[in-house]
Amino acid sequence: MKLLTPLLRPSRLTPLFSDEATLQRMLDVEASLAQAQAQCGIVPAQAAAVIADHCKVAQLDLGALAQAAAGAGNLAIPLVKQLTACVKAADDEAARYVHWGATSQDIIDSGLMLQLRDAFTETEALLKDLLAALAQQTARHQQTVMAGRTWLQHALPTTFGLKLAGTLDALLRWQERLKEIRPRALAAQFGGAAGTLASLEEKGPQVARALASALSLSLPDTPWHSQRDRLLEVGGWYAGVAATLGKFASDFALLMQTEVGEAAEPVAEGRGGSSAMPHKRNPVACAAILTATTRLPGLMATLYASQLQQHERALGGWQAEWETLPDIITLAGGVMQTSLELIRDMQVFPEKMRENLHITHGLIMAEPVTLKLAEHIGKQAAHQHLEPLCHRSLDEGVALQTLLVDDALIRRYFSEDEIARLLSPLEATGSAPVFIRQVLARYKESL
């Protein structure tokens, strides 16, 4: 549904997997194949030049190609037929050499590799922008104290900077993985009908090397027609990045709840409104991110299932990848682009964060008080003494500080001023500043 593309696939990765882009990349492989074979003395140089000159998607009839693919079983067969006809109209002799020694899967898979290389380049740029935006916001909010939450309940104080640093830390790891994956994944596919290049006789390996060089792809040790681990790894990377950003979007949407109000999406005309309620300001960016990340596990399951490919060429598994992997990549690209816009211009409300720290009347600081008391009477005894005081604070709506000041055991060890300091959330963020500094230092190193 192209109507939903601006919502779910707004990144520069999406056009890389359009029908036109897919066919052009297949044609690029056909052109490179003819030129590689000319280099190896199999195809006349003039014929290779004519073939390459006609490898342009504008010369194809896409509607007819799509209809023919339904009977042929893949796009390459009707593409080669149309390409041959175009070449034949210009040079009857050159038409003899179109698609020489290759099989349909060689063209489709190598074309996909070219698309993936384009996608990696765009992804690296997008990830770089994401990291920069996150690093800037992390530094800005490293002292913005807020309630940490476990099981969706107040736990102990943390900082918004540390929350952001966690996402930054994860994305830095994804950046490292992408650098590792790229050379391993981008491998040419050229094996001929059964993966042996028998039709090229002793020149098969030579042509394979020349083709890989022409395409600027690595040359694998064997054709990988039914070994699809490279694509599984690529899909897993994109799904993983999206999951990291989906976790961030889920947290951010919870901070946007009316009762919480600690953050908000960027303000823009017509953004986040309701068709029924004029007061609404919905987390539409978070919704788009979570929509995509909800779909990705199912798509990854399809990619996993597609690993079960029969013998030398697959029946169904290979074909199931055709739409699945582009879906994963373009949805993940949309997640990255939408997250970038959200992170760059998000609104943060430190005053509301501080206000929410006090809604439990000091209970968020019960653990620090317990640990200080434990220095005098032991951990278990301190816990047993504080727990009923916390329950009284909840049941009676009385501030924990009042109950502690009135408690004889507490007053034996702590003055009123010491109790007040123990209950101050602003002094209880532990090693958060250290963790933030470490992540920001690693980000700077990555540059």
Active-site residue identified among 12, 149, 281, 313: 313
Q: Which residues have CB under 8 Å from 341's CB, separation 6+?
A: 266, 285
Give the β-pairing of 153-159 and 145-150: antiparallel
Q: Which helix (H) or strand (E) holds 172?
A: helix 160-185
Active-site residue identified among 216, 250, 274, 431: 274
- 117 a catalytic residue: no
Q: Which of 224, 217, 225, 202 is nearest to 33 (CA)?
A: 217
Cβ atoms of 107 and 26 closer than 8 Å: yes
Token representation of residue 66: 């799509």
User: Any idea what DSSP says for residue 375?
Assistant: H
Scan for tokens 């047993």, then name that residue.
384
Q: Which helix (H) or strand (E) holds 135?
A: helix 104-140
* CA dihedral sign of residues 177, 183, 186, 189: negative
- Measured between alpha carbons, how far is 100 from 32 in angstroms, rounded to an integer? 12
- 313 a catalytic residue: yes
For the residues of 378-427, what is the DSSP string, one character each? -HHHHHHHHHHHHHHHHHHT--HHHHHHT-HHHHHH--HHHHHHHT-GGG
- Measured between alpha carbons, how far is 241 from 291 in angstroms, rounded to an integer? 15
Token representation of residue 174: 């994804």
Q: How many helices (H) and strands (E) does the chain have?
A: 18, 4
Name residue 291's amino acid.
T
- Which residue numbers are catalytic? 274, 313
